[in-house]
Chain A
């Protein structure tokens, strides 16, 4: 099975900061990677798929990059509503696997 490792596990930042979250796959997955945002008590929301394609309606301050085994999610200028937990997911094969999450806090 493919393992997904996110770093850091938590990150403190301020409004206006640029932050980069990383996700590494234990083997190559091409660009079969998605990023999700989850706020407390809510269902996750997909932000990015195919490693870099922004979901409709997602602000342009979010961007994704990478292929193979290393991927990043960048938020160019943090807004108050961006403080949440972020998960990566590979969908290259079954079983799917999520990273353990990055908790982004103020």
Chain B
């Protein structure tokens, strides 16, 4: 069964940085696009970013473009989301998802941006 395990969330001050990780197992990681989706408290789902199988192409929502960077390490079956210049409105549960069409999801990691 596909497993996606996020880590790296926590409390950070506005303007700070955080790096999320997503460890994948039970599928051939390098065969799939990988994505990040977030959900602010009490709000709906927001697609954040995606990365191609080889990592040579990346895609971002306008709300995070220029501040967030997605990357992946195929030998380590792990994808990352580097989040810089964080704002209060980035507070959310961040989910890792498999594929460009999000067929499997992790349990999420909470990022709180607050002073």
Contact = CB atoms under 8 A, between A and B. Distances in A.
Interface string A28-63: 000010101010000111100100000100000000
B47 A95 contact: yes
Nearest to A55: B103
Contacts of A46: 101-104
A100 interface: yes
Interface residues of A, number: 22
Contact of A45 (B61, B105, B106): B105
Contacts, number: 56
B107 interface: yes
Given A91-B102, A98-B37, A101-B45, 19 more contacts: A1-B62, A32-B101, A34-B102, A36-B102, A38-B45, A43-B107, A43-B108, A44-B45, A46-B103, A46-B104, A49-B103, A55-B103, A87-B44, A89-B45, A89-B102, A91-B100, A96-B47, A100-B44, A101-B44
Interface of B: 35, 37, 44-47, 50, 59-62, 95, 100-108
